[in-house]
Structure 1
Amino acid sequence: MELFVGDDWASDHHDVEIQDQTGRRLGKARLPEGVEGIARLHGLLARFLPEDADPSQVLIGIETDRGPWPAALVAAGYRVFAVNPRQSARARDRLGVSGAKSDAGDAHVLADLVRTDAHQLLEVAGDSDLADGVQGLTRAHQALIWDKTRHVLRLRATLRDYFPAALEAFPELTEPEALELLSKAPDPDRAARLSRKQISAALKRARRRDIEGKAAAIQAALRAPALGRGPVLTTASAAITRSLITVIHALAGEISTLENEVKASFGQHPDTEIYLSQPGLGQILGARVLAEFGDDTTRYTSAKARKNYAGTSPLTIASGRKTTVRARHVHNDRLLDALTRQAQSALRASPGARAYYDTLRARGVGHHAALRQLANRLVGLLHGCLKTHTPYNETTAWAHHNTIAA
C-alpha cells in the first residue's frame, strides 16, 4: 500500500494531506515546523500504514528540497519529490478554474500531483552530509562574491556622480591600491593633494610594476580639471565612498576565509580526485559542480539525465512540420554558471575540448552555443568518470570526436 502526501510549507508550519492510491483523502493536518511537527507527521502516517510497511511506500510532494524538514523526511526513508512551483501552479489550474487558493488546497494539489505524476518529478537526492556541507560553503562563498560585486558597482555609481576623475585614475576599483587611496582621499580636493610618494607607496604595497609611471598617471588623472558638485553633496558622497570601501574590504576578507573552508571541505570528499582531473575544474569550480550535482549515485540514471538537470542539453520542440532546438531556460543557475566557466577554462586546458569547440565554430555555431555544447560534452565525460570511478583521460575522452573530425 502506498500513501501520497502533499506538504505545503511555510516558515512556521506545514499543511499536509494524505491520499491513498485512488485519490481518496485519508487525513489532513497543520503541523508546526521542527521536531514536534515531524513527530506528528510520523504518527499521522502510522495510522494508515501497516506495521511492517517500508517507509519508501510514502511519497511526499513539497515545493523545496532545502532545509532541515526535507532532510528529515529523506532520513526517515520516505520518497520525497521537489515539485517546481510552476508545476504545482499548472496542476492547480488543471484541478480547478475558480482561481481559489489556500494552503490546504495547495497540499491537496501536491498530494494529487505526486500520486499521478511521481515518475515525472525530481526525487530529492540522498546526498551525503559532506556533500551538503560543501554545497552550503560554496553557495555562501558565491553569495559573498556577488555581494562584493554589487558593492563595487555601487561605489562606481557613487564616484561617477561626484568624482568621475577617480574612475579615470582607477579603472579597476577592486585593485588594492585603488581602495587604499580612495579610502584615504575620497573627495576631489584631498585626492588632488595626494603626493607622488603616497601613491607610489600604495602601488608598492599592491606589488605593482612600473611604479613611477603608474604613480604619475594616477596623480595626473586626479589633478586634471573636472566638473564638480556642491560641497555638501561632495562631503556626503565621500562618506558613502568610505563606507562602501569598508564593506568591500570586509567582504574580501570573508571571501578569502570561506574559500579556504571550501577547499578544505571539498578535499575530504572521495570524488575530489575525479572532479579535479576534469579539464577546466580547479578546487573552487570543482567544489561548486560537486555541490550542485550532489553525490547520490542513484540520482542520475544516465548521462542524459545529468545533462538535463545541468541545463546544458538542448531542448527540442517539435510541432507538425516545424522543429526547433533551443537552450533550456529552466535550470540550476549556480550549476550552469560553474559548467560554463569550466568550458571556458577547458579551451586552454584540453586540446580535445579546443578542437571540439573549433569544429562547432567552423560549422557556423555561435560562441555561446558552442560553449554550451562543450559544457554538455564535459558533463557527459564527468558522468562516465563518476560511474566508473576513474579519472579523466584526455585521449580516451576525445578519441571518437577526433576520429570524426579527421
Structure 2
Amino acid sequence: MEATPTFAGIDWSWQHHALCIVDDDGQRIEEVTLPHSKPGLGKITTLLRRHGVAQVGIERGDGPVVEHLIRDGFEVVVISARQVKSLRARYGSAGNKDDRFDAFVLADALRTDTARWAVVQPDTEETIALRMLVRSRHDLIDHRIAVHNQLLAVLQHNFPGAIGLFSQLDIGISLAFLRRFPTEAKAAWLSQLRMAHWLKANGYCGRQSAADLVDHLRNAATGRVSGPAAEASELVVLTLVDLLSKLREQQSILETRIKEALLAHPDGPIFQSLPRAGTVRAATLLAEIGDCRARFPDAAALAAAAGVAPSTRQSGKHLNVAYRRGCNKTLRAALIDWAQDTPRANAWARDTYDRARQRGCRHPHAARILAQAWTRILWRCWHDQVPYNPDLHGRLSLITKEAA
C-alpha cells in the first residue's frame, strides 16, 4: 500500500519558523513554531521525515532554512510573498498576516498546485567557485583596511610627514617610499634633488613636484620617538608595509581569477552588460544572486532577499513599514554600491535618484529606492537570460512616464 502524500509549508524568519504539514485532503496533521536555532532546524527535519514529506513550500528561495532543507535532501518550492497574499483569499476575506496560517497556505498551495511552482536547485559549481573568489576578495580588503589603519596610527605618532605625502597611503609609490625611508631620520636625508632622483627611479607620475614633497616633509609635525623607540617604530613600519604589499598582490591575483571565472560563466554577459557594473561588481552580483531562477520567482522576491525593499507587516488595520534587516547583507551592499553609481551613466537612474532626494529622502534611503528600481530590470534580464538593453529600457521608461 502506497503512503499517502503529505505537503509542508514553512513561514520562516530570523527569530522563529512556523511549520505546517497537511495530508492529501488538506487537513493539518502537524503544526508547530520552532526557534531559529540548530535544534529548531533539526526538529523541522525530524518532523518532515516522520510524515514522509518530500517537498516544502516557502516564500523565499534563499537563506539558512532553504540551505538546511536542500542539504538534508528535501525539495524546496518557492511561492513568493505576493502569491501567498493572493492565496490567503481562498480561506477567508480578512487578509490578516499570521505566520502559522501562512505556513498552512504554503502547504495547501503546494498540495493543490504542485505543477505551478518551480523547485529550487543548488547553484552550479561555477557559481559556487565565483562566490568563493568574490567573498575571499572582500575579506582580503577588510584585512588590508585593518593593516592600513594600523600603519596610519603608527605614522601619526612617529612619522607624520609620511601621511598625505602621496594620494593614498597604501598605493605602490607610497609603500615604496616607506620601505626606503621608514623614519623621519632617514627621510631627513632627502633634498630636492635627491627626492627628484628617487621619484624618477621609482616611476612616479603624480602631479606633485619634488619641491612640493620635500616641503611637505619639512613642514609636517615632528614625531615623538627617538632612540630605541625609533628603531622599534622602523621595524613596525617595515613589517606593515610588507604586509600591505602582499595583501595588494594577493588581491590582484584574486581579481584576475574573478575576471576569468566571470568571462567563463554563462550568466556573465548579463551582469557585465549593466551600466557601471564593471568586473568585480558584476561578479559579486552574479555570485550572490546565483543561477537558480526558481530561487527568486519575481523581482519582489529578489528585492526582499537583497534588503532593498522595506519590510511591511500588516494585521487588520495596523500597517508597519520598516527597514529590512533580515537579508543577504553581502548582496545588499553589492546592489547598493552598484546602483548608487549608475546615475553617472544612466539618465533614468539619475532621474529616479533625484526625485527620491526631492521627496526628502537622505542619500542612503534614496540609494535603496534606486536599487529596488534597478532590481526589477536586473531580475528581468537575469530571468530571461538576455543582456541589458539601454535602448529598450529607455523606450519603456518613456512609455511609463507618458502613461503616468
CA deviations 1:272-318 (Å, max 9, x no partner) are 11111112211110110010011111101111001100111122355
Gaps of 5+ in 1: 5-18, 25-41, 82-112
1:368 aligns with 2:364: yes
CA deviations 1:121-155 (Å, max 9, x no partner) are xx975111111011011111111112111111111
**1:23 CA drift (Å):** 5.4
RMSD of aligned residue pairs (Cα, Å): 4.2
- 8 A Cα contact 1:311 1:328, kept in partner: yes
Which one-letter code corresponds to 2:216 in the other structure?
A
Aligned counterpart, 1:29: none
Aligned counterpart, 2:215: 220
Give the TM-score, by structure 1 length. 0.70
Aligned counterpart, 1:331: 327
Taking the aligned partners of 2:53 and 2:309, their CA distance within structure 1 comes to: 36
Aligned counterpart, 1:262: 258
Gaps of 5+ in 2: 9-20, 24-28, 32-44, 78-99, 108-118
Which one-letter code corresponds to 1:208 in the other structure?
C
**1:158 CA drift (Å):** 1.1
Counterparts of residues 103-142 of structure 1 (less than 5 Å): 119=106, 125-142=121-138
Which stretch of the first structure deviates more once superposed, 232-241 or 321-330?
321-330
- 8 A Cα contact 2:168 2:174, kept in partner: yes
1:356 aligns with 2:352: yes
**1:176 CA drift (Å):** 1.7
Taking the aligned partners of 2:381 and 2:153, their CA distance within structure 1 comes to: 46
Question: 3-state SS of the aligned residue for 2:294?
Answer: coil
Which one-letter code corresponds to 2:261 in the other structure?
S
Which one-letter code corresponds to 1:156 in the other structure?
L
CA distance 1:247–1:379, shift in 2 (3 Å): same
Taking the aligned partners of 1:388 and 1:324, their CA distance within structure 2 comes to: 34
Which of the pair has the greater relative contact order for Cα pairs under 8 Å at 6+ separation?
A: 2
Taking the aligned partners of 1:172 and 1:125, their CA distance within structure 2 comes to: 45
CA distance 1:54–1:333, shift in 2 (3 Å): closer
CA distance 1:379–1:3, shift in 2 (3 Å): closer
Counterparts of residues 177-188 of structure 1 (less than 5 Å): 177-188=173-184
Which one-letter code corresponds to 1:126 in the other structure?
P
Taking the aligned partners of 2:305 and 2:150, their CA distance within structure 1 comes to: 35
CA deviations 1:76-122 (Å, max 9, x no partner) are 842379xxxxxxxxxxxxxxxxxxxxxxxxxxxxxxx9xx68959xx
- 8 A Cα contact 1:134 1:265, kept in partner: yes
Give the TM-score, by structure 2 length. 0.70
1:153 aligns with 2:149: yes
Percent identical: 27
CA distance 1:183–1:65, shift in 2 (3 Å): farther
Match of 2:158 among 141, 158, 162: 162
Which one-letter code corresponds to 1:139 in the other structure?
R
Match of 2:246 among 247, 250, 264: 250
Taking the aligned partners of 1:320 and 1:162, their CA distance within structure 2 comes to: 64
Question: 3-state SS of the aligned residue for 2:261?
Answer: helix
Taking the aligned partners of 1:119 and 1:319, their CA distance within structure 2 comes to: 19
- 8 A Cα contact 1:339 1:375, kept in partner: yes
